[in-house]
Amino acid sequence: MLIVMKFGGTSVGSPERIAEAARLAVASAAQGHQVVVVTSAMSGVTNALIDAAQSASKGQWTAAVSQQLLERHRAAAETLIGTDPVRKTATLDILGRRLDRFEKLCYGLSMVHELTPRLLDAISGTGEMLAAPLVAAAIQAQGRGSQAVDATEVIVTTDQFGGAEPLMDDTARKCAAVLQPMLAAGEIPVVTGFIGATADGVLTTLGRGGSDYSAAILGAALDADEVWIWTDVDGVMTANPSEVAGARTLPEISYSEASELAYYGAKVLHYKTILPAFRKRIPVRILNSFNPAHPGTRVTVEGHPSASGVKAVTSIRGVSLIAISGTGMQGIPGIVAKAFDVVAQQQANVLMISQASSENNICFVISSSEAGRVLKALRSALEVELLRGNIEEIAEQPVAVVAAIGDRMRGTPGIAATVFGALGTAGINVVAISQGSSERNISLVVDAQDASRAVRALHDAFQLDRQA
Ligand code: ADP
Ligand code: ASP
Ligand code: MG
């Protein structure tokens, strides 16, 4: 079997964790499988790189960040490589060169004061490029051949910096040329997650949390038999376990459930991960590198239907509700079209839309980081309507989207009643509602500060802490 296994930031967060990740990869190889490893940056590193880039763009750059990163990775290399002087020198040399590049980029940035998405990708992708040589060294130290591979050599993407999309045919060709020979030689390639490169070789990133997506892209490109996502919890759970104490592992979910869950805020999977796997019907497993004996979650075509219909409750934080309202909006054609034109021009991603049937109000949810920009553009584009009083207000409110998700919600009556009953009992005000036509989820907007209580109320109402 060919398995692509991805290790997240906490799973490679220390020399001990890297050694354990290597052990898991080597154990699968020892069972006769071909293994491709995809690694994230060590935990916290991507955030540190982005912070450094932002500071540098404001003229505040000190080499201290790069020193700290070098220290952390160097210490890990020392622990993992042990006594082999050649290997140690080679690894330290790579780390030094990569941090040197990072330093130069930040230094340049502190001169020009302009952080473009392209430059941010070049900087934020450094973390994976520091981690991969360490993971490869750890695998070698455990007696298996291994090479670190920059995904810039194997994943070809569009030039949408900060959220690039793979070009699958080119990617498949490169994977065949670069990775297949390593696999054929019995080696374990360790590919950097999160990054790729355009056809011209310019580094891109796939978006925050994108190493899961990298694993699925490589899985599809290599026609892998399975994609394993090693993380720090026992698989995909009925809710975020750090928010809901009674959250339980879902042993099996369908591709559509996984994709819906990820889209609606379950951080355990990047929301784009499922598509490449689904297209090739490659089973995906989500496993706990801190508890590898646990079977985790399996993502398959069928999923595992559960009795109540709702399998999990998720939430999206850091979002804002933009509401355009006014009694004079009724019957004025084109306001909705104009509003969404503006949103599209601002390249803001709309997570949810709802319009009251009275036409007095349309509202939609976007990321709070985009809200200021969108609000300003809306007020300018709808200036005339505001002046005439057709629109009374364009307002922003910090909110959270809470979603109840499950394939079997379709055709199960009474789910909406349970949702609203539970929130009513908890005294939580629902600001807006939307039910996808797929009927795989009901999502509602609540005030940001009610989000945790809303998630817990729904988890309780559907008794998700009990075995299905
Ligand atoms: P990694 O670094 O391995 O990619 P992430 O932090 O991106 O890990 O994702 C794992 C985290 O996702 C968990 O620690 C948990 O807090 C969070 N999470 C949110 N929703 C869920 C859910 N429904 N099931 C499991 N974990 C979830
Ligand atoms: N290191 C990247 C991030 O923190 C990608 C990942 O971990 O999946 O966003
Ligand atoms: Mg992640």
Shortest-distance Cα residue to atom 10 of ligand 1: 268
- The Cα 443–Cα 365 span in angstroms is 11
150 contacts: CB under 8 Å, gap ≥ 6: 129, 132, 191, 192, 195
Q: Compute the distance from residue 268 Cα to the ligand 1 centre, in Å.
A: 3
CB 263 within 8 A of CB 405: no
Q: Please indicate, yes or no, if residue 136 is contained in any of the structural domains.
A: yes
Residues in the 5 Å CB sphere of ion ligand 3: 8, 209
pLDDT tens figures, 339-370: 999 999 998 989 888 876 666 888 999 999 99
Strands 188-192 and 34-39: parallel
Return the ligand number nearest the Cα of 126: 2
pLDDT, position 433:
86
Tell whether ligand 2 has an atom less than 6 A from the beta carbon of residue 46.
Answer: yes
What is the 8-class DSSP label of residue 239? S
Q: How many domains does the chain divide into?
A: 1
- The Cα 446–Cα 458 span in angstroms is 13
pLDDT tens figures, 384-422: 999 998 899 999 999 999 999 998 888 788 898 999 999
Q: Compute the distance from residue 297 Cα to the ligand 2 centre, in Å.
A: 21
Residue 225, amino acid: D
Ligand 2 atom closest to Cα of residue 206: 5
The mean pLDDT of the chain is 94
Q: Please indicate, yes or no, if residue 343 is contained in any of the structural domains.
A: no
Q: Please indicate, yes or no, if residue 372 is contained in any of the structural domains.
A: no
Does the pLDDT value for residue 277 go beyond 90?
A: yes
- The Cα 311–Cα 4 span in angstroms is 27
- The Cα 146–Cα 9 span in angstroms is 20
Using DSSP's 3-state secondary structure scheme, residue 191 falls into: strand
Tell whether ligand 2 has an atom less than 6 A from the beta carbon of residue 125.
Answer: no
Question: How many Å separate Cα 138 from the centre of its chain?
Answer: 26
Ligand 1 atom closest to Cα of residue 266: 20
Tell whether ligand 2 has an atom less than 6 A from the beta carbon of residue 15.
Answer: no
Q: Compute the distance from residue 195 Cα to the ligand 1 centre, in Å.
A: 20
Q: Please indicate, yes or no, if residue 111 is contained in any of the structural domains.
A: yes
* Domain housing 73: 2-231
pLDDT, position 412:
82
Pick from 12, 42, 231, 313 the residue to mutate for probing ligand 1's pocket: most ligand atoms within 8 Å of its CB.
Answer: 231
Q: Please indicate, yes or no, if residue 31 is contained in any of the structural domains.
A: yes
| b/e map 360-375, b = 16+ CB within 10 Å | ebbbbbbebebbeebb
Burial bucket for residue 16 (CB in 10 Å: 0-12, 13-18, 19+) = exposed
Q: Please indicate, yes or no, if residue 203 is contained in any of the structural domains.
A: yes
Residue 172, amino acid: A
CATH number at residue 201: 3.40.1160.10
Q: Where does ligand 1 bind, in terms of residues with CB under 6 Å?
A: 8-11, 40, 209, 231-233, 236-237, 239-242, 266-268, 312
pLDDT tens figures, 174-220: 999 999 999 999 999 999 999 999 999 999 999 999 999 999 999 99
Q: Please indicate, yes or no, if residue 402 is contained in any of the structural domains.
A: no
CB 49 within 8 A of CB 127: yes
Strands 284-288 and 441-447: unpaired
Residue 307 confidence class, pLDDT cut points 50, 70, 90 = low
| Angle in degrees, CA 10, 14, 16, rounded to 5 | 110
- Taking alpha carbons only, the member of 363, 359, 353 closest to residue 329 is 359
Q: Please indicate, yes or no, if residue 23 is contained in any of the structural domains.
A: yes
Using DSSP's 3-state secondary structure scheme, residue 437 falls into: coil
Question: How many Å separate Cα 93 from the centre of its chain?
Answer: 31
Tell whether ligand 2 has an atom less than 6 A from the beta carbon of residue 40.
Answer: yes
- The Cα 193–Cα 40 span in angstroms is 5
Number of neighbours of residue 83 by Cβ within 10 angstroms: 7
